[in-house]
Chains A and B, each alone.
Chain A
Amino acid sequence: MSELKIVNCSKYYKKNGEPMCALEETDMHVENGRFVSIIGPSGCGKSTLFNIVAGLIRPSSGEVLLDGKDITCESGHVGYMLQKDLLLPWRSILDNVIIGLEIRGVPKKKARERALPMLKNYGLGGFEYDHPDALSGGMRQRAGLIRTLLYDQDVILLDEPFGALDAQTRMQMQNWLLQIWKDFKKTILFVTHDIDEAIYLSDEIYVFTHRPGKIKAKIEVELPRPRNEKTLMDDRFLTLKRELLLMLGEERVSSE
């Protein structure tokens, strides 16, 4: 069980003595095992919210609850992955993915034994002992996600993980991610700019407004799973896409 509650979280900075708002008071409730996306223009406070949930920065107000437990300002409770793969160039893929276990004090040998089948099952077989330089962008993102998964937290935050990939690889990676989500039954909070990606992957989508960041709308996707190429042509998909495009279009106008 893992249920993430964001209660009344906000973040204000001071700039030249004037208070600046990065994120207005926000409430969010992510139920166990759901795939929830956050979509919005750049500068909408998505990353701020993520950093708060991951415990990397202190919110100006509010708290983050995981299964009712206060985890505000505590790192290490949720898995977190950024757009950059952040693999350590001096470690092999295998040694990169076990780093979370290593920090937790699991002996290297044991950690490797746990990681090897996982690399094999999720498309990195044969690359275990290569260094990140030798891998393509998609492969490296896979390694990054497997590292997050091996850390074994029930909630995973993904901050535009496929943003730097080409369209083809992206589609592949989305299906790969859905497979992993199904196999491991994680709760995923996913940030993206890409409307299609949000609809294709999610159960719910939160739309954020441009500066100051706050939630503008919450949309239930209600498309059947498993999803595939046909989903992209489903009427419900297209209706949602139109709705979201209009909503984000308004944002663009209001920000100009």
Chain B
Amino acid sequence: MPEKLKNKEMIIEDPSVEQTKLRRRAFAGQILVGVIIVFFWEFLTRIGWLDSYYWSSPSTIVRTGWTAITQGTLLQDLAYTSGSTILGFILGTAGGYLLGLSFWWSALYSRIFEPYMIAFNAIPKLALAPVLVIMFGIGFDSKVILAFLMTIIVAAIAAYSGVQNVDPDLEKMLVSLGAKRRHVFMKVVVPTTIPWIVSILKINISLALAGTIVGEFISSRQGIGRMILYAGQVLNIDLVWVGVVVLSLLSIVMYLGTVWLERVLMKGRTPKS
């Protein structure tokens, strides 16, 4: 051992300890930044640098929100909006995934339908919202269908890309072990496409939410979207802010849900970079 190192204490690093330390400090930093933003928002509206008529303020938002919960229908609205978003998201993503997977079974079928899928993707679905509301009514169904339409093609395209990335040698290997097409499908095609569908979960959850909100804007008796529209019409800007904050919170919760789902689906494999 060289002379220099002899008297010094040996340093052995534990990468997992370092990681935990980093994670804790990052978390503390994240909280701190949030607190600073809320603080300045509150502070600047109080001293009048920001006009509290337009910007409201965190304390007013909390107060208005509390009133909306206790005396209004905020919680029912939240349940309504999150219900149609999540339902539309699940139906759209699962349906799109199955649609994309189905293209694996026949080259002829996939060739025929591929241009139609792309064309359907190009239609701005939100522009159809008024028609859909007339077709399916102003209730829950039209919102679910909007969220569904927003998400299905994105999922189908992702799954189809995954299908096209299936390693033909893996197929060959399985066939040499006596596999039929359904075995290849279940054991190779489905697992190969999972990272592809996982990668669009986060995009789809926000698309579904956009679909629902627009549906509620067009015409609805319930929901956060309707509440925001109504509050805007009566110039109750504090209540608009309550709606925006609640939607952000809903979006964050659903995002965390997809992160969890991702972890479950990708268990035991390194994520595709």
In the bound complex, residues from chain B placing their C-beta under 8 Å from that of A82 are: 169, 172-173
Closest to B173 in A: A86
- The answer to whether A54 has its CB under 8 Å from any CB of chain B is yes
> How many interface residues does B have (CB within 8 Å)?
20
In the bound complex, residues from chain A placing their C-beta under 8 Å from that of B270 are: 89, 131, 133
In the bound complex, what is the Cα–Cα distance between A82 and B180 (angstroms)?
A: 19
In the bound complex, what is the Cα–Cα distance between A84 and B169 (angstroms)?
A: 8
Stretch at the interface among B119-127, B156-164, B183-191, B215-223: B183-191
In the bound complex, what is the Cα–Cα distance between A34 and B108 (angstroms)?
A: 44
- The answer to whether A246 has its CB under 8 Å from any CB of chain B is no
Across chains A and B, the number of contacting residue pairs, with CB separation under 8 Å, is 61
In the bound complex, residues from chain A placing their C-beta under 8 Å from that of B178 are: 75-76, 100, 103-104, 151
- The answer to whether B268 has its CB under 8 Å from any CB of chain A is yes
- The answer to whether B175 has its CB under 8 Å from any CB of chain A is yes
0/1 interface trace, chain A 101-139, chain B, CB 8 Å (1 if under): 011100000000000000000000000000101000000
Closest Cβ of chain B to A172, distance in Å, is 23
Q: Are A99 and B268 in contact (CB under 8 A)?
A: no
Closest to B176 in A: A80
Q: Are A151 and B177 in contact (CB under 8 A)?
A: yes
Q: Are B172 and A99 in contact (CB under 8 A)?
A: no
In the bound complex, what is the Cα–Cα distance between A147 and B174 (angstroms)?
A: 11
In the bound complex, what is the Cα–Cα distance between A56 and B171 (angstroms)?
A: 11
Interface residues of A in 145-181 (CB under 8 A from B): 147-148, 151
- The answer to whether B69 has its CB under 8 Å from any CB of chain A is no
Q: Are A89 and B269 in contact (CB under 8 A)?
A: yes
Q: Are B174 and A99 in contact (CB under 8 A)?
A: yes
- The answer to whether B179 has its CB under 8 Å from any CB of chain A is yes
> How many interface residues does A have (CB within 8 Å)?
25
Q: Are B268 and A88 in contact (CB under 8 A)?
A: no
Closest to A133 in B: B270
In the bound complex, residues from chain A placing their C-beta under 8 Å from that of B268 are: 90, 92, 131
In the bound complex, residues from chain B placing their C-beta under 8 Å from that of A92 are: 268
In the bound complex, what is the Cα–Cα distance between A147 and B169 (angstroms)?
A: 15
In the bound complex, residues from chain A placing their C-beta under 8 Å from that of B191 are: 88, 90
Closest to B170 in A: A86
- The answer to whether A213 has its CB under 8 Å from any CB of chain B is no
0/1 interface trace, chain A 57-91, chain B, CB 8 Å (1 if under): 00000000000000000011011111010101110
Known: A82-B172, A89-B269. 13 other contacts (CB 8 A): A76-B175, A78-B176, A79-B176, A79-B177, A86-B167, A86-B169, A88-B170, A88-B187, A90-B191, A90-B269, A103-B177, A103-B180, A103-B183
Q: Using a CB–CB distance below 8 Å, which chain B residues touch chain A?
A: 167, 169-170, 172-180, 183, 187-188, 191, 194, 268-270
22 inter-chain pairs at a CB distance below 8 angstroms, sorted by A residue, are A54-B176, A75-B175, A76-B176, A78-B176, A79-B176, A80-B172, A80-B173, A81-B173, A84-B169, A86-B169, A86-B170, A88-B170, A88-B187, A89-B269, A90-B191, A99-B174, A102-B187, A103-B177, A103-B183, A103-B187, A133-B269, A148-B177
